[in-house]
Amino acid sequence: MANQNHRILMVSDFFYPNFGGVENHIYYLSQCLLKFGHKVVVMTHAYGNRSGVRYMTGGLKVYYVPWRPFIMQNTLPTFYGTLPIIRTILIREKISLVHGHQAFSTLCHEALMHARTMGYRVVFTDHSLYGFADVGSIHMNKVLQFTLADVSQAICVSHTSKENTVLRSGLPPQKVFVIPNAVDTAMFKPAPERPGSNEIIIVVISRLVYRKGADLLVEVIPKVCRCFPNVRFIVGGDGPKRVRLEEMREKHSLQDRVEMLGAVPHAQVRSVLISGHIFLNSSLTEAFCIAILEAASCGLLTVSTRVGGVPEVLPDDMVVLAEPDPGDMVLAIRKAISLLPKIDPQVMHERMKKLYNWHDVAKRTEIVYDRALECPNQNLVERLSRYLSCGAWAGKLFCLVMIIDYLLWRFLELWKPAEDIEEVPDIVLPCQSDGESLKDCSEDQCLR
Amino acid sequence: MVGENWIENRKYTYRRELKWPVEAIDIHHVVVRRSRASRFFIYLCLVIGLSNAVFLVLSKHESVTILFWSFILSASLLKLFLWKPVKQESVIIMPALGVQLETHFLSGRTTRRFFPIGKILRPVLLECVTPLTCYWSLSLIVRDEGELMLVFKELRPPVKMLVPIWKALCATIDCKESPDADDG
């Protein structure tokens, strides 16, 4: 365990009641860190009428700040609008370290910027892969370069993701750690009895969007159905590409062999997974892919595209990889079907338990926190030199942004001194036993 | 800070009164403190405003519009940053009858809200979050009301002033929670 107890503020635009990789990562990591005796507070934006302070399982405190999202669950970038509330939370919760999640989160970037201005150590976790060529990626990479210019440590979820982040942000590789995601194996257990082998069921659960390879599925499914008469597909998920899948089903008369479930609530993912034999992931880009961990934990053999960090996720005997090409995908499915008799779901589940657990992720994250707190604290002038190296024009602009931020912070120190902000007493809960699994948070558990 | 009957900070003073008969009426006052600095700033603003007006009147450019707008601007700035129209807020606890909440304005006007004892389900100390700040607030859960009733509508006294009021309300309403529990 770490030498000292940390007081961590997790910041991201993506958190419960949303469900996804980032949301789960923050939730489970926070729960484990709380078990280790650290204080963890989460800051996110309000979701509908869910605003204010809420407490979740294990005494996890969440600030749902009443800033409304404006696009894709992201708050409007204001640069300085969040400074007063972030400063207040940092002081009242006696925070020692700020941990931001996801490069796409506006709130994360702003929180890290303000925290550095106030002299706090910051850690950033990147959960996605980004390109270099399109306009959106170029802008995103510049923002990332700005944020990471003064970050204490960074974490990536795979080695591919680390390479991508280092290239995009210009961050020294020795500052970037690789800590993979994990899976709640208590939640994703195999079925007591394996589904019948007279027909092979291939499960697909993903958002039906271009990035997740929905167009690839449109071509793969008819070919597989033609080659294997005993194969049936269950497709869970929703998105703009759902129409194309529906059209494909009509065109090839596969209504009886391709079941479209629509959006699947996170609590029901396991029940869909255990009804199948093979899990198919057709993503075109993926930093890690938690979905294949969940499938493997449920005892399914995975067929996946060889993209991003996917090859790093599972051992070779648990996954069949293919190029993101319909022909190669069909061959991979053929190979997976031949391997099915050798697969024991219970054995696979036990292996997953050892390979991927949040306890281990939290232990490794603790080491990063310790390293971050060892970093020397630099004054404004030293920090500005880092921003200047971000580009001929961008560097000067970043310096200006940080100088204004510093002046605003100093003004707030005069306007509302730190001693006027009341510190919050810590809630101490009786510790859960280490063997106890982390249950997913339901509405009833959340509100105490 | 002098006991639990008198608490002070830079902005507010908390005072507790117990009134006859048999100290049955429990009154808690939170009074706004006017600091010397803010008074000085108000007078300075007024002096600058008046000198500006005199200058505009005496100058050859008879710019009534500029005069008018300068007054509007200084008045709005004064109101925005310094002018707190509330003098004090009080919580009057009458165990047999109920709780009366009073807001006293500088103008002399007073607003009162009364909640019968039977309608108050529980007093609660909450953390409130606004887009810019976080603070503690004391509210009442009232039967047949869709929303929490804020005890202090205008002021934001610190939690050390709210706790004794919360304890007194708990004792009166006979909460399931012990008022002697941890002050958090």
Q: Where are the domains of chain A?
A: 7-182+359-420, 200-355
Considering only the beta carbons, identify the residue of B11, B128, B133 that sits closest to A52.
Answer: B128
Pick from A97, A18, A27: nearest CA to A58: A27
Kindly list the distances between the CA atom of residue B157 and the CA atoms of B28, B87, B111, in Å, as whole numbers in the listed order: 12, 13, 19
- Residue A383 CA to its chain's centroid (Å): 29
Give the structural domain span for B53.
Answer: 36-81
In a domain, B184, yes or no: no
Tell me, what's the pLDDT at A406? 93
What span, in angstroms and rounded, lies between the C-alpha atoms of A389 and A77? 23
B182 has pLDDT over 70: no
In a domain, B180, yes or no: no
Tell me, what's the pLDDT at B23? 53
Q: By three-state DSSP, how is residue A65 classified? A: strand
In a domain, B137, yes or no: yes
Place of tokens 């770490």: A2
A436 has pLDDT over 50: no
Residues B74, B12 share a domain: no
A139 has pLDDT over 80: no
Peptide bond into B21 cis (omega under 30): yes
Q: Do A53 and B184 touch (CB under 8 A)?
A: no
Instruction: Give percent above pLDDT 90 in chain B.
Output: 6
Q: Do B182 and A420 touch (CB under 8 A)?
A: no
Query: Which of A356-360, B117-121, B170-174 shows the lowest mean pLDDT across its residues?
Result: B170-174
Residues B142, B118 share a domain: yes
- Last residue of a domain, which of B47, B81, B115? B81
Interface test with B, best of A41, A47, A62, A88 (most B CBs within 10 A): A88
Tell me, what's the pLDDT at B35? 63
**Chain B residue whose CA is closest to A92:** B134
What span, in angstroms and rounded, lies between the C-alpha atoms of A166 and A175? 9
Pick from A180, A105, A116, A177: nearest CA to A369: A177
Instruction: Give percent above pLDDT 90 in chain A.
Output: 37
Place of tokens 């902000």: A421
Partner B contacted by A17 (CB < 8 A): no
B61 has pLDDT over 60: no
In a domain, B1, yes or no: no
DSSP codes joined into one string, B83-142: ---EEEEEEEEETTTEEEEEEEETTS-EEEEEEETTTEEEEEEEEEE-SS-EEEEEEEEE
**Chain A residue whose CA is closest to B132:** A85
Interface test with B, best of A44, A416, A422 (most B CBs within 10 A): A422
Residues B98, B125 share a domain: yes
For chain B, the residues whose C-beta falls within 8 A of a C-beta of chain A are 10-11, 126-136, 158-159, 182-184
In a domain, B10, yes or no: yes
In a domain, B25, yes or no: yes
Closest approach of A72 to chain B, Cα-based (Å): 20
- The predicted-structure confidence for A142-184, as pLDDT tens digits, reads as follows 788 788 887 888 999 998 999 888 987 888 898 899 999 898 8
CA dihedral (A158, A161, A166, A171) in degrees, to 10, reads: -60
Q: What is the mean pLDDT of residues B101-125?
A: 85
B2 has pLDDT over 70: no
Q: Which residues of A touch B133 (CB under 8 A)?
A: 84-85, 88
A196 has pLDDT over 80: no
End-to-end CA, chain B: 19
A5 has pLDDT over 50: yes
Burial status of residue B105 (CB atoms within 10 A of its CB: 0-12, 13-18, 19 or more): middle
In a domain, B45, yes or no: yes
Q: Which residues of B touch A424 (CB under 8 A)?
A: 127, 184
- The predicted-structure confidence for A385-429, as pLDDT tens digits, reads as follows 877 777 887 888 889 898 999 999 988 988 788 978 888 887 666
Closest approach of B27 to chain A, Cα-based (Å): 25
Q: Average pLDDT of chain A?
A: 85
Tell me, what's the pLDDT at A440? 41
Query: Please, which pLDDT band fits residue B52 given cuts at 50, 70 and 90?
Result: low
Residues B27, B65 share a domain: no
In a domain, B129, yes or no: yes
Q: What is the mean pLDDT of residues A196-223?
A: 88
- The predicted-structure confidence for A256-275, as pLDDT tens digits, reads as follows 889 888 998 978 899 999 89
Pick from A199, A184, A186, A188: nearest CA to A276: A199
Q: How many CB pairs under 8 A join A and B?
A: 44
Residues B40, B29 share a domain: no
What span, in angstroms and rounded, lies between the C-alpha atoms of A228 and A334? 9
Q: What is the mean pLDDT of residues B65-87?
A: 66
Fold for the domain defined by A200-355: Rossmann fold (3.40.50)
Interface test with A, best of B10, B11, B41, B129 (most A CBs within 10 A): B129
Tally of domains within chain B: 2
Closest approach of B32 to chain A, Cα-based (Å): 15
Query: Which of A251-255, A294-298, B55-59 shows the lowest mean pLDDT across its residues?
Result: B55-59
Instruction: Give percent above pLDDT 70 in chain B.
Output: 64
Q: Please provide the CATH number assigned to the domain covering A7-182+359-420.
A: 3.40.50.2000
A7-182+359-420 and A200-355 share one CATH topology? yes
Residues B54, B23 share a domain: no
Query: Please, which pLDDT band fits residue B56 given cuts at 50, 70 and 90?
Result: low
A437 has pLDDT over 70: no
Query: Which of A12-26, A287-301, B22-36, B162-176 shows the lowest mean pLDDT across its residues?
Result: B22-36
Q: What is the mean pLDDT of residues A92-106?
A: 90
- Last residue of a domain, which of B81, B115, B148? B81
Tell me, what's the pLDDT at B44? 67
